[in-house]
Amino acid sequence: MTNLHQKRWNLVSRLYSRLDQGMQTGQFEIWRKQLMTYIKGTHVLEVGVGTGANLSFYPQGLSLTGIDFSMGMLQKAALTAKEQRLEIDLQQMDIQDLKFPDASFDTVISTCVFCSVADPSLGLDEIHRVLRPNGRLIMLEHVRSDRWSIGLIMDVLNPILAWGLGEHINRKTGKLLQVAGFSVTEEHLWYDIVRLFTAKKLPLFSRKKQDPLL
């Protein structure tokens, strides 16, 4: 399954920067800058780094690592980093199976990624593991609307988009974060669909025992 996703993203990487202009300029650019202000500590991991849309916004003095499972995307990110003269350790890796030891990072960043991770709970568990105690996960993601009519439309469209594009538009990312062992604050940026999550790692014993209906 992951292999299919990887192939899809390798294909998309050829045109991604052009296709996704809307997510790299204007209001998105402002949101990307905003999330940088929530970074704590010096060891930062960006998951699903893509073509490197966030790279120009990182403050100086960080030890940066970026992962993505698409080699095509990573090659673009390497070019972006070179243009920005930014030092970043880029590695091909699946978010659902991070190869870092426990408690390696102070902050993890994810922008527009968790709509396409095949098993988001697994990915969040892995991020929880590699974060240091009290470490932060900062996410800019689109999620399912809480308004019943919009949420229903998203539920109806989701299977088609998930099948065709691997894109899930009805993820309840806030709830998934709580189940994975984070205390979560969220800001609604565009209606209640695009949200900025600031999630603090809680110790494992305070995780909820049962998944709520997700």
Under rule CB under 6 A, residue 69 binds ligand SAM: yes
Q: Which of 65, 70, 107, 173 binds ligand SAM (CB under 6 A)?
A: 70
Count of positions on this chain that bind ligand SAM (CB under 6 A): 19
What does 54-81 look like in DSSP terms, one character per residue?
A: TGGGPPTT-EEEEEES-HHHHHHHHHHH
Under rule CB under 6 A, residue 65 binds ligand SAM: no
Give the three-state DSSP class for 90: strand
x-marked contacts with ligand SAM along 77-106 as a string, rule CB under 6 A: -----------------xxx----------
Q: What b/e sequence results for 186-211 when a residue is b if at least 16 CB atoms lie within 10 Å of its CB, and e otherwise?
A: beebeeebbbbbbbbbbeeeeeeeee
In the complex, least distance from residue 42 CB atom to ligand SAM, rounded to whole angstroms: 21
In the complex, least distance from residue 193 CB atom to ligand SAM, rounded to whole angstroms: 15
Under rule CB under 6 A, residue 17 binds ligand SAM: no
* Beta carbons of 194 and 171 less than 8 angstroms apart: no
In the complex, least distance from residue 47 CB atom to ligand SAM, rounded to whole angstroms: 6
> Letter for the amino acid at 179?
V
- Footprint of ligand SAM on 104-133 (CB under 6 A): 111-113, 116-117
Q: Which of 73, 81, 108, 127 binds ligand SAM (CB under 6 A)?
A: 73
* Beta carbons of 74 and 49 less than 8 angstroms apart: yes
* Tokens of residue 152, six digits: 């229903």
Under rule CB under 6 A, residue 176 binds ligand SAM: no
In the complex, least distance from residue 9 CB atom to ligand SAM, rounded to whole angstroms: 3
* Beta carbons of 201 and 128 less than 8 angstroms apart: yes
* Beta carbons of 126 and 97 less than 8 angstroms apart: yes
Chain residues binding ligand SAM by CB under 6 A are 5, 9, 23, 48-50, 53, 68-70, 73, 94-96, 111-113, 116-117
